[in-house]
């Protein structure tokens, strides 16, 4: 009989590895949003940023944080649905 609270011994390692793999794939396959020059300059002025580099640094950080959060929840769902030993 399988204990319901028993976890797979490599669950934390597989979860971390899966998240890193998905982050790599998202960096390679999913381009971050880019704005036209007029929109970008308007955003720089609106948020009182120094230049376009600062705007795109913030945009890229937010983009990959969003992708990472989505990937985490997708991986967690897949793991719990099909690979977890807790039945």
pLDDT tens-digit readout, 2-52: 555 556 677 778 777 777 777 777 777 777 788 899 999 999 999 999 999
Does any domain span residue 64?
A: yes
Domain carrying residue 83: 53-87
Does any domain span residue 37?
A: no
Does any domain span residue 43?
A: no
pTM for this predicted structure: 0.62
Count how many domains the chain has: 1
At 5 the pLDDT is 55
Please compute the mean of the pLDDT values over residues 63-87 and round it to a whole number. Answer: 79
pLDDT at 1 over 50: no
Distance, in Å, from the CA atom of 45 to the CA atom of 37, rounded to the nearest integer, reads 12
Residue 5 contacts residue 85 (beta carbons within 8 Å):
no
Does any domain span residue 79?
A: yes
Distance, in Å, from the CA atom of 6 to the CA atom of 4, rounded to the nearest integer, reads 6
């Amino acid at each position: 009989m399988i204990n319901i609270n028993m976890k797979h011994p490599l669950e934390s390692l597989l979860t971390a590895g899966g998240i890193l793999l998905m982050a790599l794939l998202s960096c390679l396959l999913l381009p971050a949003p880019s704005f036209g020059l007029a929109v970008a300059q308007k955003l720089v002025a609106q948020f009182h940023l120094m230049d376009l580099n600062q705007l795109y640094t913030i945009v890229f950080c937010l983009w990959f944080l969003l992708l990472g959060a989505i990937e985490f929840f997708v991986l967690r769902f897949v793991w719990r649905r099909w690979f977890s030993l807790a039945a």
